[in-house]
Amino acid sequence: MSESVLKTTRLSKLYGGRAVVDNIDMTIKRGEVYGFIGKNGAGKTTLLRMVTSLVRPSSGAIELFGSPDAKALQAARTRMGAMIETPAFFPKLTAQDNLEYYRLQRGLPDAGEIGRVLHSVNLTDTGQKPYHQFSLGMKQRLGLALAIMGNPEFLILDEPINGLDPTGMIEFRNIINRLHREGNITLLISSHILSELAQVATKYGIIHNGRLLKEFTKSELDQQTRGYISVKVNNAPMAGDIIREQLDTNQFEVYSQEEIRLFAFFDDPSVITSLLITNGLRVYSSNEVKISLEDYFISVIEAA
Amino acid sequence: MIKLIKADLFRLMKGSAVHNVLIAGIAIILLTGITMYNSGSGLLSFGVRSSVSVVSGAPTTGADFVRQMRDDSFFPFFILAFAIAILGADYSAGTIRNTLSYFAGRRSVYIAKCITGVLCCLAYSVSCLVVSMLLGVILFGFGGFSVVYFVRLLGQIVLSLPLFLGMIGIGYCLLVFTRKSSITITAYIVGLLFAPSLTYNLYQIFPAADWLQICDPLSAFSVVSRFWEFPPLTVALMIITWLAIDAAVISIGMHRYETADVV
């Protein structure tokens, strides 16, 4: 079994008696890219703030790299990088100087580390431009550069693509994929832009009203979001009769006079089309319709 | 902790806040010195001297000029600028998140920032001393300098340390509670202006404790600048009071810094 990087046990945070994070048990194993999904105000950022020690839990426990006690947890936090919400830097300092401040603060001996992280996030050409003149995309990338400074084993990114334009999103996704692939970094990424998250995450957790409703792997998600095969024919009710009689299955729905939806045969849909053609029906098209992560997320929330 | 201090000093060197305070302090010394030199009458309309210094008249020697310049009544206000530059910037820029998400030991961070603040005060004090010495020698000559004189200057710097720490501590304490530089500035200045009446009223309640009258920040700085003119016990009691203030404001501020959620 792979080592757990983060484990929370019955973690809660109450503000004014109201649970913003409610008894969350979450485990992230080494090498995973954990997509943390939730609506605004669901409790994502509060949980991440507790993990990064910015907010004190009301109850429950946090374990980082198997840390057995508070002192070990404190030490373990230096093996972690984080970007919580909007990146924050000293506005009048350059990217280089801002990172130099944190390099000195963290006692990283290699001055070349700054060049390495700036190169990693494609931010080497900002020169003497102060931080307050950066575009949002540049700010986000500088935030990521700080988060990966010192080669952390675990990276926490809270809404890293918020406000980025499509090009910025693609660039950010590529950087994250590269970090995971080449640096073997375990990532926890929270976002409500699920289409982007779906392209990087290997495991997901859905949080709603402070409660972790569901955790699932990418392959489990693929199973859950398989959707159906839509077959357009000249007579859908007759097609349904043929499938039921000859294949002995009820895993379909006659959706309209000309469309039948199959919830099986994903591996080889040609079995159906051949059968229908053999029985004299005309098949206009056959294609797989997937359920999006958004739809799945909404279905989980509604079920809760 | 040294790493934290080093980083903060690096940032302050790159920024303009501390530079501006140093420039302001030095400019005031230069302008005051030139005004004093030109007037020669002792009736000065501009300068950094307290009312007591003005009464003592225009300097006649370089050493006298330096002594008068040590009575810098702007300094308690300038210390606030250091506090805002060191800790206030962390709150206003939001960079406190970057620091505290890495260093869970917030106590170390807070103490490091207190030390950085005192170092800034020392840098200001020493810079102003050097400039006033140079200007004093140029304008009023070498007269008055002696071993006793330099020992007193050294004593003055050492005795100022509890005041530096206390004023930095008060600034930080206000910052960690308000998290806003603007509110901190207002509260600090109002406090500075009202402190003398507070200490005076305390003295009215406890008439035996006449040293209470010199415990407000502006009086305390003025007394320290010429501590040898006061009874040693009075100065000692004032310093002990300030050490108690240091302990109180730093522990309150640190407790708040350690326990407050960063949102």
Say if the Cβ atoms of B263 and A91 lie within 8 Å.
no
Distance in Å, alpha carbon of A301 to nearest chain B alpha carbon: 27
Q: At what angle do helices B232-259 and B217-225 cross, to 10 degrees?
A: 130
Say if the Cβ atoms of A105 and B99 lie within 8 Å.
yes
In this predicted structure, the answer to whether residue A287 has a pLDDT above a threshold of 70 is yes
Q: Which residues in chain B (219-238) have CB-CB distances under 8 A to chain A?
A: none
> Which residue is closest to A131 within chain B, CA to CA?
B93
Number of separate domains in chain B: 1
In this predicted structure, the answer to whether residue A257 has a pLDDT above a threshold of 50 is yes
pLDDT at B70: 80
In this predicted structure, the answer to whether residue B248 has a pLDDT above a threshold of 90 is yes
Percent of chain B with pLDDT over 70: 92
Question: Six-digit token pair at B12?
Answer: 């302050």
Q: Which residues in chain A (210-269) have CB-CB distances under 8 A to chain B?
A: none
Give the whole-angstrom CA distance, residue B120 versus residue A128: 26
- The residues, any chain, with a CB within 8 Å of residue A156's CB and separated by 6 or more, are A48, A51, A52, A80, A81, A82, A83, A84, A147, A187, A188
Give the whole-angstrom CA distance, residue B9 versus residue A267: 64
Give the whole-angstrom CA distance, residue A91 versus residue B14: 12
Q: Point out which residues pair with A205 in neighbouring strands.
A: A36, A215
User: Residue A146: which of B3, B98, B263 has the nearest Cβ?
Assistant: B98
Say if the Cβ atoms of B97 and A84 lie within 8 Å.
yes
Q: Are A21 and A210 in contact (CB under 8 A)?
A: yes
Distance in Å, alpha carbon of A77 to nearest chain B alpha carbon: 6
In this predicted structure, the answer to whether residue B83 has a pLDDT above a threshold of 50 is yes
Give how far Cα B35 sits from Cα of A32, A304, B23, B69, B73, Å.
71, 78, 18, 13, 17
Q: What is the arrangement of strands in the sheet containing A18-29, beginning at the earlier edge strand?
A: A18-29, A4-15, A59-64
User: Residue B104: which of A77, A91, A102 has the nearest Cβ?
Assistant: A77
> Which residue is closest to A77 within chain B, CA to CA?
B102
Q: ipTM value of the model?
A: 0.80
pLDDT at B62: 81
Say if the Cβ atoms of A55 and B261 lie within 8 Å.
yes
Give the whole-angstrom CA distance, residue B199 versus residue B148: 32
Give the whole-angstrom CA distance, residue A101 versus residue B14: 10
pLDDT in tens, B9-20: 898 888 888 888
Which residues does chain B have within 8 Å of residue A100's beta carbon, measured at their own beta carbons?
Answer: 10
In this predicted structure, the answer to whether residue B43 has a pLDDT above a threshold of 50 is no
- Calculated CA dihedral for residues B37, B38, B41, B43, nearest 10 degrees: -90
Higher pLDDT, A115 or B73: A115
> Is B263 in the A-facing interface, judged by CB distances under 8 Å?
yes
> Is A71 in the B-facing interface, judged by CB distances under 8 Å?
no
Question: What pLDDT band is residue B103 in, cutting at 50, 70 and 90?
Answer: low
Say if the Cβ atoms of B3 and A55 lie within 8 Å.
no
> Which residue is closest to A75 within chain B, CA to CA?
B104
pLDDT at B52: 44
Distance in Å, alpha carbon of B121 to nearest chain A alpha carbon: 21
Question: What pLDDT band is residue A255 in, cutting at 50, 70 and 90?
Answer: confident
In this predicted structure, the answer to whether residue B42 has a pLDDT above a threshold of 70 is no
In chain A, the DSSP E strands lie at 4-15, 18-29, 33-37, 59-64, 80-83, 154-158, 186-191, 203-208, 211-217, 228-233, 252-254, 259-262, 283-289
Question: What pLDDT band is residue B252 in, cutting at 50, 70 and 90?
Answer: very high
Say if the Cβ atoms of A92 and B99 lie within 8 Å.
no
> Is A67 in the B-facing interface, judged by CB distances under 8 Å?
no
- The residues, any chain, with a CB within 8 Å of residue A73's CB and separated by 6 or more, are A62, A63, A64, A67, B104
Question: What pLDDT band is residue B40 in, cutting at 50, 70 and 90?
Answer: low
Give the whole-angstrom CA distance, residue A229 versus residue A283: 13
Which residues does chain B have within 8 Å of residue A84's beta carbon, measured at their own beta carbons?
Answer: 97, 101
Question: How deeply is B9 buried, as exposed, middle or buried, from its count of CB atoms within 10 A (0-12, 13-18, 19+)?
Answer: middle
Higher pLDDT, B55 or B174: B174
Per the prediction, chain B carries an average pLDDT of 83
Say if the Cβ atoms of B93 and A106 lie within 8 Å.
no
Range of the domain at B215: 2-259
Q: How many A/B residue pairs have CB atoms within 8 Å? A: 76
Interface test mutation site (partner A, options B16, B87, B101, max chain A beta carbons within 10 A): B101
3-state secondary structure of A160: coil
Distance in Å, alpha carbon of A106 to nearest chain B alpha carbon: 7
Question: What pLDDT band is residue B104 in, cutting at 50, 70 and 90?
Answer: low
Percent of chain A with pLDDT over 90: 18
Q: Which residues in chain A (131-190) have CB-CB distances under 8 A to chain B?
A: 146
At A216, the amino acid letter reads F
Listed residue (A132, A65, A69, A64) closest to A95, CA to CA:
A132
Domains in chain A: ranges and CATH: 4-223 (3.40.50.300), 227-291 (3.30.70)
Q: At what angle do helices A95-106 and B2-14 cross, to 10 degrees?
A: 160
* This model's pTM is above 0.90: no
pLDDT in tens, A53-101: 899 999 999 998 888 788 888 888 888 888 888 888 999 899 999 999 9
Which CB contacts under 8 angstroms, 24+ apart, belong to B49-58? B49/B73, B50/B222, B52/B222
> Is B261 in the A-facing interface, judged by CB distances under 8 Å?
yes
At B82, the amino acid letter reads F
Mean pLDDT of B30-46: 67
Q: What φ, ψ does residue B19 adopt, rounded to 5°? A: -55, -45
Say if the Cβ atoms of B98 and A104 lie within 8 Å.
no
pLDDT in tens, A6-30: 999 999 999 888 888 999 999 999 8
> Is B13 in the A-facing interface, judged by CB distances under 8 Å?
no
Higher pLDDT, A213 or B103: A213
Say if the Cβ atoms of B98 and A102 lie within 8 Å.
yes
pLDDT at B57: 65
pLDDT at B153: 87
Give how far Cα A221 sits from Cα of A49, A181, A266, A290, Å.
27, 21, 15, 11
In this predicted structure, the answer to whether residue A197 has a pLDDT above a threshold of 50 is yes
Give the whole-angstrom CA distance, residue A219 versus residue A203: 9
pLDDT in tens, B152-173: 889 888 999 999 999 899 989 8
> Is B94 in the A-facing interface, judged by CB distances under 8 Å?
yes
At B255, the amino acid letter reads H
Mean pLDDT of B23-34: 84
Question: What pLDDT band is residue B210 in, cutting at 50, 70 and 90?
Answer: confident
Percent of chain B with pLDDT over 90: 14
Listed residue (B12, B14, B156, B26) closest to B83, CA to CA:
B12
Say if the Cβ atoms of B97 and A107 lie within 8 Å.
no
User: Residue A101: which of B7, B104, B262 has the nearest Cβ?
Assistant: B7
3-state secondary structure of B189: helix
Listed residue (A190, A84, A131) closest to B99, CA to CA:
A84
Per the prediction, chain A carries an average pLDDT of 85
Half-sphere exposure of A103 (CA within 13 A, CB side): 21
> Which residue is closest to B10 within chain A, CA to CA?
A101
Distance in Å, alpha carbon of A127 to nearest chain B alpha carbon: 15
Question: What pLDDT band is residue B51 in, cutting at 50, 70 and 90?
Answer: very low
pLDDT at A151: 84
β pairing state of A228-233 and A283-289? antiparallel
Q: Which residue has the tokens 């962390």?
A: B90
Residue A94 has what DSSP assignment? B
In this predicted structure, the answer to whether residue B251 has a pLDDT above a threshold of 90 is yes
Distance in Å, alpha carbon of B101 to nearest chain A alpha carbon: 5
> Is A88 in the B-facing interface, judged by CB distances under 8 Å?
yes
Give the whole-angstrom CA distance, residue A34 versus residue A40: 18
